[in-house]
């Protein structure tokens, strides 16, 4: 983007959408903490409790890293890697309704947290129909991954957790895709988004490559229904229910695969199974892009916060994720780990399937 006027307009438009988003979701976070009395409790915990070191992470550091993420997001837009994004948070009415759903659910979450109740969704009706590891109330969420309300609440919960930066983090998975799509006819490429959830990342994929055929795969029928509604305006897009450990697609049928914010929720063996499936469905020369939490040692100042996170949110596999060796897993699947790039509290991991030439 060389035109100074276009650059200024883009910057103003970016700030005009992202800053209110930050204020909206950071505001939710603040109100949530006040309601839970956490502000007072945290002050005590920080002195001598298990979150002591986590609480000591300088808030200025967090806000400075968040600002870096937004600066990177804007730089990508100015470099025309992707267009000025539309977050599609819905009308004011939709946002207020989701806000109500979010706050109404907090007492149930708190109750589960206190009782360490994490298996509500494992019932006679659900057991055996999904992998056991899946049938849990991750983050103490109501309905696990199984209900319509859970799908409707999910994006507010994630954006509150990340102070309105979840979508900006997701967009950091687009530049490595641009590298492999550049100069190619997008209509002849295919992308698979594994564990697509409510479809927010696919929305940014389609905003960038509207004619790219894309598939979203997720094990939750409710989340898939939500994603289909959210993505209804796009053509050449399918959202299918399925297990990422056994992707219902032929070998070498996709040019790119992505998986965001999911590997930390998989047990080690499932992580390996999903990785193997990614390698299988990629064409030679294809690319896998993962985006997920920072791991232990990536940013030493964050280590204590990362260790503390699964104690407060039900994240049974996060501890093993923190030390997972993704380069080694990639090697066993025939993929090459190219690089990682930090994106606030997450990182983008890039893997290629060699062409074999």
Ligand X SMILES: C[S@@+](CC[C@H](N)C(=O)[O-])C[C@H]1O[C@@H](n2cnc3c(N)ncnc32)[C@H](O)[C@@H]1O
Q: Which residues bind ligand X (CB under 6 A)?
A: 134, 145, 158, 170, 195-197, 200-201, 218-220, 223, 243-245, 260-262, 265
Least distance (Å) between residue 3 CB and ligand X: 33
Extract the runs of DSSP E, i.e. beta strands, from the chain. 191-194, 214-218, 237-241, 254-260, 282-293, 336-343, 346-352
Q: Which of residues 51 and 220 has its CB atom nearest to ligand X in the complex?
A: 220
Least spacing, CB of residue 95 vs ligand X, in Å: 18
**Shortest gap between Cβ of 317 and ligand X (angstroms)?**
10
Shortest Å, Cβ 7 to ligand X: 29
The residue among 196 and 282 lying less far from ligand X, judged by its C-beta, is 196
Q: Which is nearer to ligand X, 208 or 243 (CB)?
A: 243
Length of the chain: 357
Which CB sits closer to ligand X, 195 or 239? 195
The CB-of-66 to ligand X minimum distance in angstroms stands at: 18
DSSP state of 146: T
Among 172, 109, 111, smallest CA distance to 141 is for: 109
Q: Which residue is nearest to ligand X (CB)?
A: 197
Helix, strand, coil percentages in the chain from 3-state DSSP, rounded to 5: 55, 15, 30
Nearer to ligand X, 43 or 69 (CB): 69
State in angstroms the smallest separation of the CB of 144 from ligand X: 9
Q: Helices (H), strands (E): how many in the chain?
A: 14, 7
From CA 198, how far away is CA 143, in angstroms rounded? 15
Closest CA to 147 of 108, 193, 111, 110: 108
How does DSSP assign 70-131, residue by residue?
A: HHHHHHHHHTTSSPSP------HHHHHHHHHHHHHHHHHHHHHHHHT---TT--TTTBTTB-
Min dist. Cβ of residue 200 to ligand X (A): 6
Could you give the 3-state DSSP secondary structure of residue 238? strand
Q: In what order do the strands lie in the sheet with 282-293?
A: 237-241, 214-218, 191-194, 254-260, 282-293, 346-352, 336-343
In the bound state with ligand X, the residue whose beta carbon lies nearer, of 117 and 132, is: 132
What is the DSSP-derived secondary structure letter of residue 155? H
Q: What are phi and psi of 349, to 5 degrees?
A: -115, 130
Residue nearer to ligand X on the CB measure, 118 or 300: 118
The nearer residue to ligand X, 34 or 293, going by C-beta atoms, is 293
CB of 92 to ligand X, least distance (A): 23
């Amino acid at each position: 983007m060389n035109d100074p006027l276009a650059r200024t307009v883009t910057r103003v438009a970016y700030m005009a959408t992202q800053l209110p988003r930050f204020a909206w979701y950071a505001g939710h976070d603040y109100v949530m903490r006040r309601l839970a009395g956490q502000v007072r409790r945290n002050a005590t915990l920080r002195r001598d409790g298990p979150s002591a070191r986590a609480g000591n992470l300088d808030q200025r550091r967090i806000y400075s890293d968040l600002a870096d993420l937004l600066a990177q997001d804007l730089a990508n837009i100015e470099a025309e890697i992707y267009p000025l994004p539309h977050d599609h948070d819905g009308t004011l009415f939709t946002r207020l309704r989701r806000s109500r759903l979010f706050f109404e659910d907090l007492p149930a979450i708190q109750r589960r947290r206190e009782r360490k109740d994490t298996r509500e969704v494992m019932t006679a009706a659900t057991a055996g129909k999904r992998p056991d590891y899946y049938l849990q109330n991750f983050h103490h969420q109501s309905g696990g991954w199984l209900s319509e309300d859970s799908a409707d609440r999910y994006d507010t919960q994630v954006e509150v957790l990340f102070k309105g930066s979840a979508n900006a983090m997701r967009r950091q998975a687009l530049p490595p895709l641009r590298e492999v799509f550049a100069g190619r006819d997008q209509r002849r490429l295919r992308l698979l988004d594994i564990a697509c959830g409510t479809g927010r990342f696919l929305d940014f994929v389609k905003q960038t490559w509207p004619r790219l055929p894309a598939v979203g795969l997720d094990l939750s029928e409710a989340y898939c229904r939500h994603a289909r509604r959210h993505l209804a305006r796009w053509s050449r897009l399918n959202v299918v229910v399925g297990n990422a450990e056994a992707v219902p697609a032929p070998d070498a049928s996709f040019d790119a695969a992505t998986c965001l914010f999911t590997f930390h929720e998989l047990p080690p063996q499932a992580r390996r199974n999903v990785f193997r499936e990614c390698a299988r469905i990629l064409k030679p020369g294809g690319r896998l892009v993962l985006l997920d939490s920072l791991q232990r040692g990536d940013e030493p100042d964050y280590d204590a916060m990362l260790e503390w996170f699964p104690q407060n949110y039900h994240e049974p596999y996060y501890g093993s994720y923190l030390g997972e060796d993704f380069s080694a897993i990639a090697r066993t699947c025939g993929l090459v780990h190219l690089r990682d790039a930090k994106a606030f509290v997450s990182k983008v991991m890039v893997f290629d399937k060699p062409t074999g030439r």
